[in-house]
Amino acid sequence: MTKKFVLTILVLLFALCIANTSNAALFDRGGGLIYDDLLDITWLQYANYSGQTMTWDDATDWVGNLDYHGYDDWRLPASDTTCSGSDCINSEMGHLFYTEGVSSDSPGLFTDVKPSMYWSSTESSGNASQAWRFSFKYGTQGESVKTLSRYAWAVRDGDSAPPVVPEPISSALFITGGVTLGIRRFLGKQTD
């Protein structure tokens, strides 16, 4: 093989690697927030932030009262009620599992993804005592009785970033500079 041919192959492989990574849909915004730019939603990075399983009513109450980094509009993920079982990619959790490859065995950017069922915000249209749920072990979704215990994963609409906290050193320099200017002005007025 010629050097030119080998160089061409290496350039093509490099270009494919760059093209593949530029299509990523999950972005770590820091502070425990993961943004999905395809669905325009932000997930809590910690998939078991509540620390427990709960009934559907308790899960909706928990997420409805959640205030994380000043955001208080969290909700449970939505489900696509036209799909039951596997390959339900149009639900938010199905998208995370099938499109982004997030599972309990391969959590990616997320932490503590349980190999179990997570509640959806979507209630059953045919039975008020049931709501939709999703398994991050098997990638299946369906309906469950609301009184069963499942995990809850908080999500919110739009892109989210943690609040910016000023660095202590910058604040100290700002205050020191302000005090210095104040003293100079005061001393300058004394000599007038």
Alpha helices in 22-128 (DSSP H): 56-64, 92-94
Q: What pLDDT, in 10s, does the model give residues 136-153?
A: 999 999 999 999 999 999
Rounded to a whole number of angstroms, the distance between the first and last alpha carbons of the chain is 85
Q: Which residue has the tokens 């997420």?
A: 63
Residue 166, number of CB atoms within 10 A of its CB: 8
For residue 186, name the pLDDT band (cuts at 50, 70, 90): low
The mean per-residue pLDDT over the stretch 8-24 comes to 52
Copy the structure tokens of residue 120: 């959806």
Copy the structure tokens of residue 122: 């979507």
Domains for the chain: give ranges and CATH numbers: 23-159 (3.10.100)
The mean per-residue pLDDT over the stretch 11-19 comes to 53
* Residue of higher predicted confidence among 15 and 65: 65
pLDDT above 90: percentage of residues in the chain: 69
DSSP H or E run through 59: helix 56-64
Q: What pLDDT, in 10s, does the model give residues 160-183?
A: 887 665 566 666 566 766 667 667
